[in-house]
Chain A
Amino acid sequence: MEEGSVQQAHVHAPPEGFLRKYVFSLDHKVIGKQYYGLALVAVFTGMILSWLMRIHMVWPLAKIPLLEHLSSAGAPGGVITPEYYLSLMTMHGTLMVFFVLTNAPFAAFGNYFLPIQIGAEDMAFPRFNMMSFWVTFIAWVVLMLAFFIPDGPPISGWTSYAPLSAVGKDAGPGMQFGMSLWGLSIAIFCIASLLGALNFIATTLDLRAKGMTLMRMPLCTWAWFITSCIALLAFAVLLPACILLILDRHAGTSFYVPGGLVISDRLQPHSGGSPLLWQHLFWFFGHPEVYIAILPSMGIVSHILVNSMRKPLLSAKVVIYSMMSIGFLSYMVWGHHMFLSGMNPMSALAFSFPTLTITIPATVLTLIWLGSLYGANIQINSASLFALGFISMFVAGGVSGFFLAQPSIDIYLHATYFVVGHFHMVMGVASLFGVFAGTYFWFPKMSGRMMSEPLGKLHFWITFIGTYCIFMPFHYLGLIGNVRRYQSFVDDFMAPYLGVHKFVTVCALITGAAQFIFLYNLIYSRFKGKRAPDNPWNATTLEWSIPSPPPWNNFGDRHPIVYHDPFQYGVKGSKGDYVMQDSPEQVVPASGD
């Protein structure tokens, strides 16, 4: 490694003052932590909402006293009304998909580690970077406002299907101002995500250190890069969709609302619009969004597995190409969300085929992870447990995708708990397992302290078993014909299965409570955890070559030159069984190999 002796000019000056250091910071590391903090607030809000929904579903008359103060109309006397159940569901979905699954694995970890892993001092456009976080923050505030207006949050679900989302208060409580806030919030979120994606792409293309060829980038950098390409396309389509929705609601246009539509006994003053148009635009964004949530976790998990296995993956190149094909195919499959929307049955077939094709790169990825594990001396810790848990969730949740991708089967399973179980496992929990794995793995670097391993393992086992207990029964309930979005099942044909729902609710309460162990671990370790060395996991990538936590300019006055790919494990290096990416030493295969 060579040291530069020239007086440094930096991307930005060292931050001075509280505001520049912690609030309006240009430092990608602070911005990454801000995204993480926002995602943390959003995930706990979303989780508590899911508790409320689960409790209401099996004990519809349960009194939840605090809720009355939040919405006297939605929960009179603390008892949730059916409409308010839908409001809670909408907010749960919107918070989780946008503010957790998009923010945590992609924006938070990507911001923090992408520049360091490629040897850059900061993102390409630090001011845009700061803006994209604060615009996201505004989007979150606008969304949360919906809880505190008399109208309440919308009841449309996170997909906000037209025409009900486009006609205003006739569509039910929350559909007047609450729905407007939703549309505005998502439009703002799109702008922030576009700025973020632009920054990620320019940074990866142009700011790589000397020697950091594309194929030498760590797999999570690859995942963030591919994700940012997907996000750029996806959010550029959702933004126009939201603009059209806002115009339909407030300017009297008719993009989505057909003529002669009567809602709540009132003829709607619109003509000729197409409700299917919203579905097409929304799902053109919506399906790639699934991969925006899962791809970064795939990258993080690959990154962590290589490290804990102490040997390279069977083929890193194939992992990269698989992630690319998943990203590419994600744009051809949006119609599989619309098999029952009344579109041409032939097009259902056309969407079914690429959907089934996605299972090929997904299976290849899984086989590479599992195949690489064969014969590996894997180090078991909280990070690697969650990485292995990710594979389990991804497979268990992904397998049901084979069924749903076929129109003939989907006709029966559409909008049942089978679908809910499928996407919660494969997109929600799997992606969150990637975030947990990333947190346990990178926390020492981000804070300079180690997290508690016993607490981490306890957190893993409760979450892992709890997740299966919650979402596996969902699949069976769906097969029975349990429709999603119903507020309770006590007095219809589902009544005999109320016991299953009660079991799920209890499991959800326990699994949710276990997340407070994680929160405690996070806060406790931040202040009282054991001091972390620079490279606690004996890892090869550049983030481990700098102090924990990193200084404001990452590499100080040092300029990393990269000599190796990040998979130099199981070799004989001066530090042990690995050689770091910026180490100029020659790689010697370990004896016995």
Chain B
Amino acid sequence: MSSTIVSTVNSQTNALPPSRRASAQAALVYERQERVSSSGIWVGVFAITMSFAAFTSALFVREGTTDWGHLVLPSVLYVNTLVLLASSITLESARRALAAGPFGNIEGTRKASAWVMITLLLGLGFCAGQFHAWQELRAEGIYLATNPNSSFFYLLTFLHALHVLVGILVLVYLAGRLMASHTTFRRSWFANTAIYWHFMGGLWVYLLLLCRMKL
């Protein structure tokens, strides 16, 4: 990911005296960075949405065939849902703690890192819970290829979990940056990771409803 983007913005600061240019430029760069990574994350969210829409339409086509059955969802999924939604709240708390104070204030950073650690634990808890759901199905003798319903269940939950894992990796990186003292830190990274994480929560609720109603 880019670190600084200057060339296209600092022409606006050329009119200022040299002493003030640097700080004005830094502010513009910061704003530009936020916009770039914000566009990036929204475009990414859109692409992921499109992929899952494709899986959904595949499910609707497949649903009409003769061997379509019924799958009783493992009840641990509902607990997992609560865990993932809770993690969204904790990450939001972290984001707000960071955004509340001036840039780089110690109190906010300390609070934020605590919230991020809780988010990480909840995220890992969600993945463990999903793994448990798969184990439960396997214990009943229901595997990926057992019937179309189980195929879709394993496929959708696995791909979602994979995306959550990517989010967890980014959170680990961010937690590291938060806790290391004397490092610069971009709040846009944090905000965008939060968007991605909330999207994962929303996507999961959608997938759960889809599985509950269709599988």
Interface residues of A (CB under 8 A from B): 2-6, 8-12, 119-122, 124-128, 194, 197-198, 201-202, 205-210, 232-233, 236-237, 239-241, 243-244, 247, 251-255, 259, 271-274, 276-277, 280-281, 284, 553-555, 559-561
Contacts and interface: CB of A to CB of B under 8 A. Distances in A.
Contact of A206 (B22, B32, B57, B66): B32
A253 B145 contact: yes
Contacts, number: 159
Given A198-B40, A247-B151, A232 B5 contact: no
A232 B9 CA distance: 28
B12 interface: yes
A241 B9 CA distance: 42
A-B residue pairs, 4 tightest by C-beta:
A252-B145, A272-B67, A559-B11, A236-B50
Contacts of A561: 11
Given A6-B25, A237-B54, A273-B65, A127 B47 contact: no
Given A201-B43, A281-B58, A125 B1 contact: yes
Contacts of A236: 47-48, 50-51, 54
Contacts of B14: 2-5, 559
Contacts of A272: 62, 65-68, 148
A124 B8 contact: no
A555 B39 contact: no
Interface in B1-39: 1-14, 18, 21-22, 25, 29, 32, 35-36, 39
B39 A124 contact: yes
Given A10-B6, A240-B58, A247-B151, A207 B36 contact: yes
B205 interface: no
Interface of B: 1-14, 18, 21-22, 25, 29, 32, 35-36, 39-40, 43-44, 46-48, 50-51, 54-55, 57-58, 61-62, 65-68, 144-145, 148, 151, 155, 159
Contacts of B6: 8-11, 121
A9 B65 CA distance: 60
30 contacts: A3-B14, A8-B6, A9-B6, A9-B29, A10-B6, A11-B4, A11-B5, A12-B2, A120-B7, A121-B8, A125-B1, A125-B2, A201-B39, A205-B39, A207-B5, A207-B32, A210-B9, A232-B46, A236-B54, A237-B50, A237-B51, A247-B151, A251-B144, A255-B151, A272-B148, A281-B58, A553-B7, A555-B7, A559-B7, A559-B10
Given A10-B4, A201-B43, A559-B7, A274 B18 contact: no
A126 B12 CA distance: 24
Contacts of B148: 253-255, 272-273
A252 to B, nearest CB: 4
A239 B68 CA distance: 24
Contacts of B22: 6
